[in-house]
Structure 1
Amino acid sequence: MMADKPTNPTILRVAELSPHKPLVFNIVPDTAENARIADELGLSALRKLNFRGKLMADGKSDWRLEATLGATVVQPCVITLAPVTTRIDQFVARNFLANMPEPDSIDEIEMPEDETTEPLGDTIDLILVMTEALALALPDYPRSDDARLENAEFSAPGVTPMTDEETKPFAGLAGLRDKLEKGD
Structure 2
Amino acid sequence: MSNQTSLRVADLPQNAPTPFELRPDAKALDAIKGDLGLLGLRKLSFVGDVGATGKRDWVLKGKLGATVIQPCVVTLEPVTTRIDIPVTRVFVANWADPEEPEFEIPEDDETEQLGAEIDPALVMVEALSLALPQYPRKDGAELGQAGFTEPGKQALTDEDVKPFSGLADLRDALKKDE
CA distance in 2 between partners of 1:165 and 1:125 (Å): 54
Q: Which residue of 2 aligns with 1:20?
A: 15
Gap regions ≥5 residues in structure 2: none
CA-to-aligned-CA distance 1:111-142 (integer Å, 9 cap, x gap): 15861111111111111100000011111100
Deviation of 1:55 (Å)? 0.5
SS at match of 1:33: helix
Q: How many aligned residue pairs are there?
A: 171
TM-score normalised by the chain length of structure 1:
0.85
C-alpha deviation, 1:159, in angstroms: 1.1
Residues 43-65 of structure 1 show CA distances to partners (whole Å, capped at 9, x for unaligned) of 00100000000100011110001
Partner of 1:88: 83
Match of 1:3 in 2: none
Offset of residue 31 of structure 1: 0.6
5 Å matches for 1:15-164? Answer: 15-105=10-100, 107-112=101-106, 115-164=109-158
For 1:94, the aligned partner's letter is R
Partners of 1:161 and 1:110 lie apart in 2 by: 43
TM-score relative to the length of structure 2? 0.88
Mind listing any 5+ residue stretches in structure 1 that lack a counterpart?
Answer: 1-5
Q: Secondary structure at the match of 1:34?
A: helix
User: What CA RMSD, in Å, does the superposition of the two structures yield over aligned residues?
Assistant: 2.2
CA deviations on 1:33-89 (whole Å, 9 max, x unpaired) are: 011001111100100000000100011110001100000000000000000000000
CA distance in 2, matches of 1:113, 1:44: 26
| Kept in 2: contact 1:103–1:110 (CA 8 A) | no
CA distance in 2, matches of 1:31, 1:166: 53
Structure 1 residue runs of 4 or more that deviate by more than 4 Å after TM superposition: none
Q: What percent of counterpart residues are identical?
A: 50
1:2-48: per-residue Cα shift (whole Å, max 9, x none)? xxxx9833111111111112111110000110110011111001000
